[in-house]
Amino acid sequence: MTDEEMKQLALDSGFTHAAFMDVADLEFDAALRQYCVENTCGNYDRNYACPPECGTPGEMEEKVRKYKRALVLESVQPVGSVMDPEETKTAKKAHNMISREFVNMMKKECSESSAVMAGPCTFCKTCAQIEGKPCRFPEEVYSCLSAYCIDAGKMAEHCGLPYWCGMDKVAFFSIYLFN
Ligand code: SF4
């Protein structure tokens, strides 16, 4: 599949924007881990896709650096207010749904690939970590940009994509990683 075809598939899948970049140009900042530790989202130590179980900042960066190329996928969705957690949660769910669909399609083309998505893993209704059990579907787990300590603002700037879209729109990012 050519780059143009891959990008078109992303747009046809429902993303608002899609842009290629080299993984070498992604910027990681271990200091971002502190935001996960502060646990404003409530998923710290309660989801296998999130810290601390997902891995240290260094281990997370290593997982991404195994790949050479990245297709940055952005959805921009209208909301009444970007400050409304229920609305943004619904938008995040929709973003992750199209991210999974896209990644599943791409994995048929290229099994040696991976992805970064938004928020905790919601593949199961309740994450097995909360029940002290092993992850039920390890191959379905995708951690978020924050868990990877990826500087999303710099990534968007590098790709020429909008980061802050105003009070009435919410933007989420995923990354498809491949060689
Ligand atoms: S697949 Fe299920 S058990 Fe594994 S991280 Fe996701 S929600 Fe948790």
Tell me which residue has its CA closest to atom 6 in ligand 1.
121
| Rounded distance from Cα 101 to ligand 1 centre (Å) | 17
Pocket lining: 25 vs ligand 1, CB cutoff 6 Å:
no
Tens-digit pLDDT profile for the chain (179 aa)?
Answer: 899 999 999 999 999 999 999 999 999 999 999 999 999 999 999 999 999 999 999 999 999 999 999 999 999 999 999 999 999 999 999 999 999 999 999 999 888 999 999 999 999 999 999 999 999 999 999 999 999 999 999 999 999 999 999 999 999 999 999 99
Residue 60 CB neighbour total at 10 angstroms: 21
Atom from ligand 1 closest to the CA of residue 122:
7
Partner residues linked to 117 by β-bridges:
144
Q: How far apart are CA 53 and CA 50, in angstroms?
A: 6
Ligand 1: distance of its center to the CA of 158 in Å? Answer: 32
Please report how many Cα atoms fall inside a 13 Å half-sphere around the Cα of residue 18, on the Cβ side.
Answer: 21
- The secondary element (H helix, E strand) that includes residue 8 is helix 3-12
For 81-125, the DSSP string reads -TT-HHHHHHHHHHHHHHHHHHHHHHHHH-SS-EEEBSSS--SSS
Tens digit of each residue's pLDDT (9 = 90 or more) over 62-95: 999 999 999 999 999 999 999 999 999 999 999 9
Query: Is the full-model pTM beyond 0.75?
Result: yes
